[in-house]
Chains A and B, each alone.
Chain A
Amino acid sequence: MKKNWWKIIAVVFVLYTLIAGFLIPVPAQAILHETIRNLYFHVPMWFSMMTILFISVWHSIKYLNKSDIQSDIIATQAAHVGMLAGALGLITGSFWAKYTWGAWWVADTKLNGAAITMLIYLAYFVLRGSIDEEQKRARIAAVYNIFAYVMLLVFLMVLPRMSDSLHPGNGGNPGFNKYDLDSNMRMVFYPAVIGWILFTVWIFTLKVRIEKLKRKNLIDE
């Protein structure tokens, strides 16, 4: 119980997001209308993805320092779960774009950043797949992970600030927290972010445990 308190918080917050997110009144915005409720689902997905990918890179660095295969397992599984969160973020974002901008996909720095993140991590899995030897695979994948993550940070942090964008929070478009988010929405949004991040971390810890058990079984056989 002492170790699992955060899982209870995750469940309570996500349930709260699901119920309150659909029931509590939201401000009537011109183009957004009721789709503004997607804020509770779309935005936390990207927060979760960045958190979990940071865990992945952190463990890649740790692997290069200590050469402990456990760190490699953690880095890989974190990248897997990061992809899951990213895919959900893309899907929810795509629906939102369809209803507000009128297209499933528009040319935009933020959207390009999301697509490139997915491409980088898919390339990471292909790289892992093409090396057989365990230690070598772990080392080379760790190097690529660190290299790619830094380039990704540059893309996500620097470029959107240098060009205009349709996406909220860029180039003159109001960010949600500035004008549009009233106190009602804040009451759902912050728990939603914490809830989804904890939820993803939980999935990730489960995946790490499964992977470790698989390896143990292989050794026992």
Chain B
Amino acid sequence: MVRYLYERILSAMLTMFIVTAIIYTLLSLVQGSALDVMGGSGGEMSHADYEAIRHNLGLDLPVWARYGQWLRNVLRGDFGVSYRYGVPVGEVIAQRFGPSALLIGTGLAFAVLLGLPIGIMAAHRPGSLWDRLSSFFALAGMTAPRFIICITFIYFFSFKLRLTPSMGMHTVGNASFGDLVIHLILPVSIIAFSKMGYLIKQTRSACLEVFQEDYLNTARAKGLSETEVILKHGLRTAVAPILTQAMAEIPELVGSAAIVEKIFGWPGIGALMIEAIRNRDVPLIMGVTLVIAVVVLLANIFLDIAYGLLDPRVSYR
């Protein structure tokens, strides 16, 4: 187990290194124009000033040297200074991390709490009305683009029914918990709705397979109630393929949360990334890239371990 973990972490670090190196190289192709975005091009800046700023930003060095420098700084905890905000990248990210974690975490929790039972019930009576309704619901969640769900929800729930606010995390001057909750309702239900689709579908097909196994009949013959049979014996085996699917979905979850954050003006890391890419704010993009990569890889390792703990058939060498 320890050896397995050690190998997993090592390979995750390698992946992180490759991801950041690729994105750094890509970004180096637009760094010149970052200067233009800052108001450098045209007649406003003399050639000597332009060169001096290029030198200050280290843009006169080759890409690999700059990447090496960036990596060394990161290892020392220095992510550089945002071109746009003029403050350390670490500070900007630290402010934005909490709101994102809150939004994604709550959305995911609701998706699991609702999606698993819906999928299990669908698999328990395949072809029933419940099964067909839930498949349609799942299909809608999987196929409707996030930004369209966001707009439709805002139109109906915030504007037509006036139930919830449509912007931000707090009403100005009100930092109470209740206010936070009503701001969370819409974005969280959108994330939960779109993630639930995959979960329902995956749970249903995994459970369908397991429910046919003979050992479930054995458990029934022992006199266990149907609920016990499904929860104790069935679900434990079905959970492995569900987790595999969940793992593949994490990057997509971060990406779709970014769109939700952007539309709702939620002060999270995904909206920050979209803005940073638009401004070609290279240090900020690199900082967020690293944070997203770390979160995705940590979540993968975590799910991998959960997989082994839950499925009795898996053992780590």
Say whether A and B bind each other.
no
